[in-house]
């Protein structure tokens, strides 16, 4: 990991930080500062990285993106009953070219992931998700990506990469390590029918805004199988963003987006988290800071019960059906459920970890009634492609 890419947290933020109570977030973490240099990462579990890159934003904010205001709001919050040490690694300024920025993001993230540190990237446009995804190239694993967004962001195949087209590059560009993509909160009128059809053809998952707000718990099993989570702040309605310039009347409210961030943090498998499309106004900065806080809260209450840490901690349920037999597993630790997708012969080794798929108790009850869960079918068909 090349730490030379990163610049220290602004002195004005550190000056404000000195005036905060000792229990506050900013007084309880390790900070990259001009005075003390780069922080020691030994034992650190979560690393914050601000990225000032908006050149590929579809709607650019007025003036230069300011990351210091989000930090000011985050630092003044109080810590929870947390055990995971946190470091703020400072800011990554935009490179000479967009590709330089992508390279730096991927390089820093790869170094952190190999040390078992969870990067939390915030600030710039959502095409930075592509750089975060490329960080997994050397990890020898398939990647599950979850995007909280009102759009699928596929764009057209020949379109240059942007915050509205980065997904097409993830799907097409090599090496292709994407196993599954899930979208939470899409709004139909922002997406072409061709994009909706493409999601179906690729066996990806999509949950409309109304479906998620009607029952926020539907996101939990989706996050439980995610590696990378990308959250577009424009998925939040404008009233909760201080009527930010790039916002819309419909979307998640403040409580819902914080609950979603907490569910993402609770997932034992999520290893990176991004908060993008940030703008600068007081209400926006406060909400973005709280989204990050709730994600960290989730990380600190993880159950670490992903099968099979200990087979003694799980009960197995076998549901016979007409042409197959489906195996469910329930954790004694958290009460969460998984469903087994049968291993396919000659399957790429990188896919073998996907044989256990998070599900809900309702999925088990449906199977008992003879209905195979849709997530199981999509995962099984994807393995056959």
Which of 275, 299, 323 terminates a domain? The answer is 299
Task: Please say if the pLDDT value at position 61 is more than 80.
Answer: no
Which pLDDT belongs to residue 157?
58
CATH of residue 14's domain is: 3.40.800.10
305 inside domain: no
Instruction: Give me the number of domains the chain comprises.
Output: 2
Domain boundary at 243, 264, 299, which? 299
Listing from the earlier edge strand, what are the strands of the sheet with 205-208? 30-31, 86-93, 46-52, 118-123, 272-276, 228-232, 143-148, 178-186, 205-208
Range of the domain at 334: 311-384
pLDDT digits (tens, 9 = 90+) for 20-36: 999 999 999 999 999 99
Closest CA to 291 of 29, 24, 73, 51: 73
Q: What confidence tier does 188 reach under pLDDT thresholds 50, 70, 90?
A: very high
pTM beyond 0.95, yes or no = no
For 79-107, what is each residue's pLDDT tens digit?
999 999 999 999 999 889 999 999 999 99
- Beta strand ranges found along the chain (DSSP E): 30-31, 46-52, 86-93, 118-123, 143-148, 178-186, 205-208, 228-232, 272-276, 314-320, 325-331, 337-340, 356-359
Buried b (16+ CB within 10 A) or exposed e, 50-63: bbbbbebbbeebee
- Secondary structure element (H or E) that encloses residue 100, with its range: helix 98-114
Is 264 in the same domain as 319?
no
Q: Which of the pair, 60 or 201, is modelled with greater confidence?
A: 201
User: What percent of the chain lies above the pLDDT cut of 90?
Assistant: 69
Residue that finishes a domain, picked among 277, 299, 321? 299
Tokens representing residue 61 in the block:
């904010």
């Amino acid at each position: 990991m090349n730490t030379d890419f990163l610049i220290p947290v602004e002195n004005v933020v550190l000056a404000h930080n000195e005036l905060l109570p000792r229990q506050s977030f900013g007084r309880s973490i390790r900070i990259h500062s001009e005075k003390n240099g780069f922080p020691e990462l030994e034992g650190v579990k979560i690393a914050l990285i601000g990225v000032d890159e908006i050149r590929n934003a579809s709607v650019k904010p007025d003036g230069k993106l300011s990351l210091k205001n989000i930090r000011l709001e985050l630092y003044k919050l109080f810590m929870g009953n947390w055990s995971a040490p946190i470091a703020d690694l400072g800011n990554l300024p935009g490179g000479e070219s967009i590709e330089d920025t992508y390279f730096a993001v991927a390089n820093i993230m790869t170094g952190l992931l190999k040390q078992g540190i969870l990067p939390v990237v915030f600030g710039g446009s959502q095409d930075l998700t592509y750089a975060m995804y490329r960080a997994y190239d050397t990890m020898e694993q398939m990647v599950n990506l979850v995007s909280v967004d009102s759009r699928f962001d596929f764009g057209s195949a020949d379109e240059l990469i942007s915050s509205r087209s980065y997904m097409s590059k993830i799907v097409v560009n090599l090496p292709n390590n994407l196993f599954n993509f899930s979208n939470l909160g899409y709004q139909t009128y922002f997406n072409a029918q061709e994009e909706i059809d493409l999601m179906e053809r690729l066996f990806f998952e999509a949950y409309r805004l109304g479906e998620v707000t009607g029952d926020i718990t539907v996101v939990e099993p989706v996050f439980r199988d995610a590696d990378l989570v990308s959250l577009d702040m424009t998925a939040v309605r404008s009233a909760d963003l201080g009527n930010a310039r790039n916002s819309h009347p419909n979307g998640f409210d403040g409580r819902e987006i914080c609950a979603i961030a907490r569910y993402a943090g609770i997932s034992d498998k999520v290893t990176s988290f991004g908060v993008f499309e940030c703008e600068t106004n007081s209400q926006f900065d406060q909400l973005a800071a709280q989204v990050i806080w709730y994600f960290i809260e989730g990380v600190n209450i993880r159950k670490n019960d992903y099968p099979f840490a200990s087979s003694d901690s799980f009960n197995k349920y076998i549901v016979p059906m007409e042409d197959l037999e489906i195996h469910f597993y329930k954790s004694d630790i958290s009460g969460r459920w998984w469903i087994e997708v049968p291993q396919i012969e000659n399957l790429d080794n990188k896919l073998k970890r996907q044989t256990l798929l998070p599900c809900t108790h309702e999925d088990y009850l449906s199977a008992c009634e003879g209905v195979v869960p849709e997530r199981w079918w999509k995962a099984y068909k994807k393995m056959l492609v």
